[in-house]
Amino acid sequence: MYNSIQDTLIIGKKVIYLPSCHSTNDIAAEIVHAGLFTEGTVVITDNQLKGRGQRGTTWVANPGENLTFSIILTPEFLPVSDQFLISQITALAIRSYVHNYIENVRVKWPNDILANKKKICGILIENGIQGMKLKSSVIGIGLNVNQLDFKEDRATSLSLETGVPFALPDEFQKLLGFLDKYYVRLRQKSFNQAIRAEYLSQLHGYGKELEFIYENKARRGTIAYVSSEGLLGLNLSDQDEVLELGLKQIQWLIN
């Protein structure tokens, strides 16, 4: 069903298709551990039984209706301190792809993709570090494509937003093209600051006041920056203070 991609440079030259599996990230991690892969290998399934999300959550997708896959990269050219760039290029590539079909598409820090303020894609990146080098990255992507019913009212799909069905193999090929383009750009090393600037420009709430939960209290603030390590800088609205937060310290209230 899913074939290798001919017009990319790195990502998708080898595609491993599994009709069903527990987690594509787990399968990809096993392949990395065994050392039996080439960079850009993709593991994709129609039915992911135990998909994982951020904060220890699960990723649930109707079988055969969405794109659930993992990419194996070996970004040894990146120092550990710059590993958040992998998250940034992944989010930007998917945002650019979705933007082909939907006008209002933003990145929600750190790397969820929002279409009309609803979550359309989740990303889970698991890096393998050896010393000061980034030895491997397994990038798990769950993109809602044809699913029309969700347990969460804050979720959406390409079909829900556009009113048309999509051919999954075709969209898989298009999406890998975007991911490959951004990864090749990152490998050139001279675009790191441009990538960070583009990420900030596409970030939901950048320069706008947002509501969030911090230390069990509803607060308001404005995103001021995202550090090179991926920490979020927030200017609080009710006091002269800047918070620098990690993923587990904040909960967004999207409105």
CATH number of 237's domain = 2.30.30
Alpha carbon 212 to chain centroid, angstroms: 21
Same domain, yes or no, for 24 and 94? yes
Tokens at residue 213, please? 């939960």
List the CATH number of the domain containing 88: 3.30.930.10
Same domain, yes or no, for 184 and 237? no
Strand partners, 236: 221
In a domain, 8, yes or no: no
Alpha carbon 93 to chain centroid, angstroms: 9
| Buried residues in 45-63 as b, exposed as e (16+ CB within 10 A) | bbbbeebbeeeeeebbbee
Same domain, yes or no, for 121 and 238? no
In a domain, 7, yes or no: no
Alpha carbon 255 to chain centroid, angstroms: 21
Same domain, yes or no, for 112 and 234? no
**pLDDT score recorded for residue 49:** 83
- Give the residue with greater pLDDT, 57 vs 75: 75
Residues 6-53 have pLDDT tens digits of 999 999 999 999 999 999 999 999 999 999 899 999 999 999 987 665
In a domain, 9, yes or no: no
In a domain, 154, yes or no: yes
Same domain, yes or no, for 46 and 102? yes
Residues 152-205 have pLDDT tens digits of 889 999 999 999 999 999 999 999 999 999 999 999 989 999 999 999 999 998
Same domain, yes or no, for 249 and 150? no
Q: What residue numbers bound the domain in which 225 lies?
A: 209-253
In a domain, 59, yes or no: yes
Do residues 107 and 95 lie in contact, with contact meaning Cβ atoms separated by under 8 Å? yes
In a domain, 180, yes or no: yes
Residues 94-131 have pLDDT tens digits of 999 999 999 999 999 999 999 999 999 999 999 999 88
pLDDT at 230 over 60: yes
Same domain, yes or no, for 47 and 147? yes
Same domain, yes or no, for 122 and 230? no
* Residues 111/113/116/118 CA torsion (nearest 10 deg): -90
Same domain, yes or no, for 54 and 164? yes
Same domain, yes or no, for 22 and 99? yes
Distances (CA, A) of 65 to 21, 47, 59, 168, 176: 15, 9, 14, 8, 18
Same domain, yes or no, for 194 and 218? no
In a domain, 6, yes or no: no
